[in-house]
Structure 1
Amino acid sequence: MQAAETRNGAVETGSHQVLTFTLGEETYGVDILRVQEIRGYSTVTRIPQSPPHILGVLNLRGSIVPVVDLRMRFNLERAEYTPLTVIIVLSVESAVGRRDFGVVVDGVSDVIDVASNDVKPAPELGEQVSTEFIEGLAAVSGRMVMLLDIDTLIGGDVAGLAAAPAATAA
């Protein structure tokens, strides 16, 4: 995918807003239009036999929302949850449709404007390292922000949980 090209090949101009968050020392970003809610970390209900990175589910105004620990999903060192730990509720598109998903992150930074022509493609790191969930990299205020393709990153988990009750619109 080219930096200024969308998935369907249309050329994108201008900028878009991205919510940035941290995992350890690294900064990541997701399209702000996918963010449904940001909430403090709260205990979730575990689901038996789910993958280790899926912590469980929480009840969000009557909707059952699966929650993923992004540190575990990225195979990062485990960290204790603190008062800064948050759950970002995102709208994810997958083969089974649109569904809300929560992701646990160390902390939310801010909302930034990212110019489309400033987004560089993810580097090819060989077969051992998967980067298909990285839409691109952008240098913002002297730091590198990894822009995540949340559909690719979480979409497989949505399909895997298709047997669970579907989330209703909040």
Structure 2
Amino acid sequence: MAEELQATQYLTFVLDSEVFAVDVARVREILEYTAVTKVPKTRNYMHGVINLRGSVVPVVDMRVLFGLPETDTTVNTCIIVMEVTAEGSSLIMGALADSVREVMELDPGQIEPAPKVGSRVKTDFISGMGKQGNEFIMILDIDRMLPDEATSSLAEMGGMATSMGEAELMA
């Protein structure tokens, strides 16, 4: 008997005018934009760190990571806190997004394979293209979203920031 493929719920968010999605099971929470502490000598897409209930969480600027133009933060700017698996271990990271849209359910039949060319982002980050009405939604593979050196940078940022005084993190 063939096993039916289940629909998956995705959190959709906007960067520039493009719609992206991540598996909602990997999302811990969504935060209003808050002050981010910059960490020196990190990659340009590493926005900094935030203090989340006493834990240091690195924040990645998704626009910069994907080569989109930078923009100012607005009332809709938010930080999506996600669990990423890298090098066999789990990391918590924040992802800066222009705005969050909704949680939506997509059946496997609504998801096309990732394009091989012509995408605005590297296609190995995209696990598929969801289709809702006339709109495409880029479904991200968050475990492959960051360059290899970034996952070790995330862990280092958390360690470096932990040694900072709490007053500096709260600034």
Residue 145 of structure 2 aligns to a residue in which SS?
Answer: helix
User: Residue 130 in 1 paired to residue 122 in 2?
Assistant: yes
Give the TM-score, by structure 1 length. 0.84
Residue 63 of structure 2 aligns to a residue in which SS?
Answer: helix
Q: Which amino acid aligns with 1:159?
A: S
Asked whether the 8 Å contact 2:58–2:157 carries over to 1, the reply is no
Provide structure 1 residue ranges, at least 5 long, that are not aligned to the other structure. Answer: 1-10
- Further displaced range: 110-119 or 157-166: 157-166
Residues 41-92 of structure 1, C-alpha deviations (whole Å, 9 max, x = no match): 1111111100001011111111110001101101111111001000000000
Partner of 1:6: none
Q: Which amino acid aligns with 2:17?
A: E
Count of aligned positions = 156
Distance 1:54 1:96 in 2: 21
Q: Which amino acid aligns with 1:16?
A: T
Provide structure 2 residue ranges, at least 5 long, that are not aligned to the other structure. Answer: 160-171
Q: 1:24/1:165 Cα in 2 relative to 1: closer, same or farther (>3 Å)? A: closer
User: Residue 148 in 1 paired to residue 135 in 2?
Assistant: no
Partner of 2:155: 162
Specify which structure has the higher proportion of helix: 2
- Runs (4 or more) in structure 1 with deviation over 4 Å come to none
Residues 74-124 of structure 1, C-alpha deviations (whole Å, 9 max, x = no match): 111111100100000000000051011000100000010010122111111
User: Residue 75 in 1 paired to residue 67 in 2?
Assistant: yes
Asked whether the 8 Å contact 1:93–1:155 carries over to 2, the reply is no
Asked whether the 8 Å contact 1:39–1:88 carries over to 2, the reply is yes
Distance 2:86 2:62 in 1: 18
- The match for 2:95 among 86, 100, 103 is 103
Q: Percent identity?
A: 38
Residue 153 of structure 1 aligns to a residue in which SS?
Answer: coil
Distance 2:81 2:98 in 1: 14
Deviation at 1:154, TM superposition (A): 3.0
Give the TM-score, by structure 2 length. 0.84
Deviation at 1:140, TM superposition (A): 1.0
Distance 1:62 1:12 in 2: 42
Residue 132 of structure 1 aligns to a residue in which SS?
Answer: helix
Provide the alpha-carbon RMSD of the alignment: 2.2
Distance 1:142 1:83 in 2: 28
